[in-house]
Amino acid sequence: DGGITQSPKYLFRKEGQNVTLSCEQNLNHDAMYWYRQDPGQGLRLIYYSQIVNDFQKGDIAEGYSVSREKKESFPLTVTSAQKNPTAFYLCASSPGRTANTEAFFGQGTRLTVV
């Protein structure tokens, strides 16, 4: 059953702690993306990767880090440098070779700082 999986669905973090959100896909897609969504707002791009071992900053990369060691995995670490990390985080993947393809999204991780 192909798709993109995010875990966990809900995550609680104490202030000052780093936390890593998982994103795995078995669609054999080259490109993967991380977004942040705040209540009532659109999606903002954090990082994206078009190929293994390469990734680019999006619009709001400060306080976040990623790695792309495997094609199917693109974990996002929310560091203590991120001042307001409470948000809904979405991961997506796409074939990535051309513009005329669709992206597939995971179900999201809701992060709450307590």
Partner 1 sequence: LAKTTQPISMDSYEGQEVNITCSHNNIATNDYITWYQQFPSQGPRFIIQGYKTKVTNEVASLFIPADRKSSTLSLPRVSLSDTAVYYCLVVSGSARQLTFGSGTQLTVLP
Q: Which of 42, 69, 84, 114 binds partner 1 (CB under 8 A)?
A: 42
Residue 52 binds partner 1, judged by CB under 8 A: no
Residues 74, 68: contact at Cβ < 8 Å?
yes
Residue 60 binds partner 1, judged by CB under 8 A: no
Q: Which of 11, 27, 43, 61 binds partner 1 (CB under 8 A)?
A: 43
Which run of H or of E encompasses 73? none
Give the footprint of partner 1 on residues 7-26 (CB under 8 A).
Answer: none
Nearest C-alpha neighbor of 108 from the set 85, 91, 86, 87? 91
Residues that bind partner 1 (CB under 8 A): 31, 33, 35, 41-45, 48, 50, 56, 58-59, 88, 90, 92, 94, 96, 98-100, 102-108, 110
